[in-house]
Structure 1
């Protein structure tokens, strides 16, 4: 397991992550990319704790995602199954598990202040923290995707399911984008990754 983990997370995180996996009896599966989620936790009918994490994540995002999912397990075990998936109990568990990893031996210096800020009140996904998501993206393998906030208003772009949109103006924190075929307006997070087809 240590050898497998070392392919996906920073070297100095391998031992403590392995200890977390053993202590919580986690059955970890590393799976192909899923567009809708980075990771998942479920308790099987057998009582086994199953966690899946996408194989395509960079090492820092993989570590955050894995600890995120272990925090679900810990919160449910400690506080019961009736808690909200990303409520106070999960936030508390995630903070407690993640803080020992927020150090320079594990994360690059440019990520440390952003992680410290994020983990004062962690959200359901690090993707919704635009500054952290952008900083983490710099460690991804190069691809042809753009963030919605990075393309000009009026640009035409495609999302993962093939639907095509035209970027509109920002409304509060998200962008109003019109689906080209239906004319319906959808709100996009600024850091949603899209394929740029045409600039305005």
Structure 2
């Protein structure tokens, strides 16, 4: 397992992550990309504690996602199964598990303040923290996608399932976008990745 993880994690995170996996009896599966999530945790019917993480994540997002999922397991074990999945107990557990990793040997210096800020009150997904998501994205391979906040007002874009939208005004944190085929308005996170068609 350790030699497999070398490919996915920052080198200085390898040993402490391996200890967390072993001490919590985690059955870790690295899987193909899923559009709707980076990872998940499930207690299987046979009692196995299974965590799946997408193989396409960069090593910093992989680490944060893995600790996020281990925090679910630890929080459920410590506080019981009736807690909210991303409630106060999980947030405290996630923060405590993540703290030893927030150091310059593991994360690039320019990421550290963004990560530290995120862990003051961690969100259900790193993607809902637009600042963290954009900072982590800078370590991904280059692609031809744009963020919603980069699309000009009135610009037309396509999302992963082929649907096309026209970008509208910003509403507090998210952007109103009109689905061209139905006329329905949807709200998009500023860091949603889309393909610009015309502006």
TM-score normalised according to structure 2 size: 0.99
What is the alpha-carbon distance in structure 2 between the residues aligned to residue 109 and residue 147 of structure 1? 24
What is the alpha-carbon distance in structure 2 between the residues aligned to residue 197 and residue 49 of structure 1? 43
What is the alpha-carbon distance in structure 2 between the residues aligned to residue 59 and residue 144 of structure 1? 21
Q: Matches of residues 21-60 of structure 1 in structure 2 within 5 Å? A: 21-60=21-60
Q: What SS does structure 2 have at the residue aligned with 1:40?
A: strand
Could you say which residue in structure 1 is the equivalent of 2:6?
A: 6
Q: Does 1:189 align with 2:189?
A: yes
What is the alpha-carbon distance in structure 2 between the residues aligned to residue 33 and residue 159 of structure 1? 16
Could you say which residue in structure 2 is the equivalent of 1:92?
A: 92
Which stretches of structure 1, 4 residues or more, deviate above 3 A after TM superposition?
Answer: none
Could you say which residue in structure 2 is the equivalent of 1:107?
A: 107
Deviation at 1:105, TM superposition (A): 0.2
What is the alpha-carbon distance in structure 2 between the residues aligned to residue 130 and residue 36 of structure 1? 16
TM-score normalised according to structure 1 size: 0.98
Q: What SS does structure 2 have at the residue aligned with 1:50?
A: strand
Could you say which residue in structure 1 is the equivalent of 2:173?
A: 173
Long gaps (5+) in structure 2: none
What is the alpha-carbon distance in structure 1 between the residues aligned to residue 121 and residue 173 of structure 2? 18
What is the alpha-carbon distance in structure 2 between the residues aligned to residue 150 and residue 97 of structure 1? 34
User: Which stretch of the first structure deviates more once superposed, 154-163 or 25-34?
Assistant: 154-163
Could you say which residue in structure 1 is the equivalent of 2:75?
A: 75
Deviations 1:144-186 (A, max 9, x none): 1111001101111111111110000001110000000000000
What is the alpha-carbon distance in structure 2 between the residues aligned to residue 96 and residue 5 of structure 1? 22
Deviation at 1:20, TM superposition (A): 0.2
Long gaps (5+) in structure 1: none
Superposed CA RMSD: 0.6
What is the alpha-carbon distance in structure 2 between the residues aligned to residue 101 and residue 6 of structure 1? 16
Could you say which residue in structure 1 is the equivalent of 2:132?
A: 132
Q: What SS does structure 1 have at the residue aligned with 2:67?
A: helix
